[in-house]
């Protein structure tokens, strides 16, 4: 059978076009495969980078390098989107008492994570709200955690502080009483009782505390407010407490109240200027005001005292 030239040409053209399409399709497939491969190669470093970031954070957290974690967050903030990355940042900010920044992360980052039920994160947010005097938000978060059965000493402590602000001392004492650590429980209950002016009951709590050095300082002040000066000095000597910024103010007040001005003045002026704080200046002001009749020196010390403490009686004295 013969094929005409035209038909032959048509067949050749058909075969040529078929081969061309096949070749083009093959090239396109290879090109698509190459693009997919390139895409994978491009996305691979991003995944590795995120993994590396998590590992870096974990390492810094293990070594207690909280400031480094914060610095890393501030440099690469946009990459911190998961709870696994944000939680160490929030914990680090808590260690630095940067409560404003904690609340900012809560608003900008944590609020966008669906179904966030991390109790530790919520506890920190509740603490941050308290420290920034947003008490209602703090109470709502902390009460919810407590009702859920979550156990954490900080939760009990901050709930107790909130109860105290509502003058609910009995509830504050009760919730602190749930803390298992015997020393911590008595120390914290002693502080609540001290704040409420229940000095006898506070002393009972502080006397059983050995681990917290401040318990002895609180005991000194309780004895002072109860006007038990001899017992105070005896307690001070028996416990071999050091003369420092915490003990000198109260002991000097004992001497002032006994009229032993010379001893009180010597004690207060033995403290270097760089180490003096508000209570030192108040006591010096009292001496020069009430006993040495030197109004100018008294005024000078009272003004230094008011730079650290707001005291309406002293302000009134200065304005007279």
CA dist 261 and 112 (Å) reads 63
Structure tokens of 42?
């491009």
Q: What is the pTM of this model?
A: 0.73
- Cβ contact 122:145 at 8 Å: yes
CA dihedral 312, 315, 317, 320 (to 10 degrees): -120
CA dist 52 and 262 (Å) reads 66
- 128-186 pLDDT, tens digit per residue, is 999 999 999 999 999 999 999 999 999 999 999 999 999 999 999 999 999 999 999 99
CA dist 123 and 144 (Å) reads 10
Alpha helices in the chain (DSSP H): 5-62, 66-75, 83-95, 99-108, 119-131, 135-147, 153-165, 169-176, 182-195, 199-207, 214-225, 229-238, 248-258, 261-269, 278-286, 295-306, 312-319
Phi/psi at 165 (nearest 5 deg)?
Answer: -65, -25
Tell me the C-alpha to C-alpha distance, in Å, between residue 161 and each of 54, 80, 120, 122, 135: 36, 33, 19, 17, 10
Residue bearing tokens 């096949």: 22
Say how many CA atoms lie within 13 Å of 308 toward its Cβ: 11
CA dist 241 and 228 (Å) reads 18
- 159-169 pLDDT, tens digit per residue, is 999 999 999 99
Along the 320 residues of the chain, how does pLDDT read in single tens digits?
443 444 444 433 433 344 433 443 454 444 444 444 444 444 444 444 445 888 999 899 888 899 999 999 999 999 999 999 999 999 999 999 999 999 999 999 999 988 888 999 999 999 999 999 999 999 999 999 999 999 999 999 999 999 999 999 999 999 999 999 999 999 999 999 999 999 999 999 999 999 998 999 999 999 999 999 999 999 999 998 988 888 999 999 999 988 899 999 999 988 887 788 888 999 999 999 999 999 999 999 999 999 988 889 899 888 88
* Other CB atoms within 10 Å distance of the CB of residue 106: 19
Name the nearest CA neighbour of 152 among 126, 171, 190: 126
pLDDT for 12 equals 38
CA dist 86 and 111 (Å) reads 12
CATH number for the domain running over 242-320: 1.25.40
pLDDT for 246 equals 87
pLDDT for 51 equals 53
Residue bearing tokens 């302000």: 315
- Cβ contact 252:283 at 8 Å: yes
Name the nearest CA neighbour of 297 among 307, 308, 285: 285
Q: Which residues of 212-230 are buried (b: 16+ CB within 10 A; e: fewer)?
A: beebbbbbbbbbbeeebbe
Per domain, the residue ranges of the chain are 59-116, 242-320
């Amino acid at each position: 059978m013969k094929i005409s030239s035209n038909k032959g040409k048509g067949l050749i053209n058909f075969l040529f076009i078929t081969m061309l399409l096949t070749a083009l399709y093959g090239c396109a497939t290879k090109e698509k495969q190459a693009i997919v491969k390139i895409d994978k190669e491009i996305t691979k470093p991003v995944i590795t980078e995120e993994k590396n970031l998590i590992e870096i954070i974990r390492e810094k957290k293990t070594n207690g390098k909280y400031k480094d974690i914060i610095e890393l967050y501030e440099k690469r903030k946009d990459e911190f989107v998961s709870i696994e990355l944000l939680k160490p940042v929030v914990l680090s900010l808590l260690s630095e008492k940067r409560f404003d920044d904690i609340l900012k992360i809560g608003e900008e980052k944590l609020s966008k994570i669906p179904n966030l039920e991390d109790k530790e994160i919520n506890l920190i947010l509740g603490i941050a709200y308290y420290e920034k005097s947003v008490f209602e938000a703090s109470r709502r978060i902390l009460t919810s955690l407590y009702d859920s059965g979550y156990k954490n000493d900080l939760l009990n402590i901050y709930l107790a502080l909130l109860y105290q602000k509502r003058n609910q001392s009995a509830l504050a004492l009760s919730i602190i009483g749930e803390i298992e650590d015997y020393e911590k429980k008595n120390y914290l209950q002693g502080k609540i009782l001290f704040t409420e002016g229940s000095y006898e009951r506070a002393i009972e709590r502080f006397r059983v505390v050995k681990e917290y050095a401040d318990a002895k300082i609180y005991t000194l002040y309780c004895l002072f407010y109860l006007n038990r000066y001899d017992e105070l000095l005896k307690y001070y000597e028996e416990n071999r407490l050091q003369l420092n910024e915490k003990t000198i103010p109260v002991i000097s007040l004992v001497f002032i109240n006994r009229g032993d001005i010379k001893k009180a003045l010597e004690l207060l002026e033995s403290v270097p200027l760089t180490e003096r704080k508000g209570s030192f200046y108040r006591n010096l002001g009292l001496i020069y005001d009430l006993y040495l009749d030197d109004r100018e020196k008294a005024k000078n010390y009272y003004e230094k005292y008011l730079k650290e403490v707001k005291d309406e009686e002293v302000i009134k004295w200065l304005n007279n």
